[in-house]
Structure formats: C-alpha cells, structure tokens
C-alpha cells in the first residue's frame, strides 16, 4: 500500500517523512551508497556506517551546489579519484581531507 509522504515544519524548516521503502527507493535512484545492514542487536557497524554517512552527505551537498565530482575535487584541492572513493563509501578520508571538502562545500553555498 502506497502512502503519500507527510510533511512537517520544525523551527521554520519543512521536512518530508517517508516510509522506509520509499526512502530506500529514493536512495537507490540517487545512487547514494546504501547504509550497511544492522547486526542482531539492531546496531550498525560503526566504520561502515560512518563511511556511508560521509559519502551520502558529500554527494547530497555537491548535488545541491550543482557541481560535478571533478569540480568539487578541484575546489577542495584533492584528487578526483580520492573524492570518487569517498563518495562510493569505500574509503575513510583523513581529517585534513574532510576539512578541505568541508571548506569547498561551504564556499560554494
């Protein structure tokens, strides 16, 4: 059964609430790295979750800015190959690399 998304406003910001199936379909459509499966106790594996979360945040911010992966890498002063690995959720970036990406993303806003 398909239900229409619900919207709510918190502190003047509009949010849309989706069920898990619709959310997963959007993630797949956006080609965001999936979150890892939870363990028997319902917890995510920390490292894999952190990698996927970082990747998703960077991809979504980059898309909002309307810049390509190569352009963001150039602005951040990192190799495009490095950004690609980060965005696939297969690489744990250093703090210095994250600072460069953060600075490049904030400058683009």
Residue 69 belongs to domain with CATH number: 1.10.260.40
Domain count, the chain: 1
87 within a domain of the structure (yes/no): yes
* 3-state class percentages of the chain: helix first, strand second, coil last, to nearest 5: 55, 10, 35
For the entire predicted model, the pTM comes to 0.69
pLDDT at 29 over 70: no
pLDDT at 5 over 70: no
pLDDT at 76 over 90: yes
Residue range(s) defining the domain that contains residue 46: 6-107
pLDDT at 20 over 50: yes
Q: From CA 70, how far away is CA 68, in angstroms rounded? A: 5
pLDDT at 90 over 50: yes
pLDDT at 99 over 90: yes
> What is the average per-residue pLDDT within 48-63?
92
Report phi then psi at 64, rounded to 5: -60, -35
1 within a domain of the structure (yes/no): no
* Max CA pair span of the chain: 47
């Amino acid at each position: 059964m398909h239900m229409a998304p619900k919207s709510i406003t918190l502190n003047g910001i509009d949010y849309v609430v989706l069920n898990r199936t619709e959310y997963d379909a959007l993630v797949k459509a956006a080609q965001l790295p999936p979150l890892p499966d939870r363990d028997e106790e319902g917890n995510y594996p920390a490292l894999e979750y952190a990698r996927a979360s970082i990747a998703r945040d960077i991809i979504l911010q980059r898309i909002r800015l309307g810049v390509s992966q190569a352009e963001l890498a150039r602005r951040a002063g990192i190799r495009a190959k490095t950004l690609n690995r980060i965005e696939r959720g297969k690489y744990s970036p250093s703090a210095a690399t994250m600072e460069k990406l953060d600075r490049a993303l904030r400058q683009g806003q």
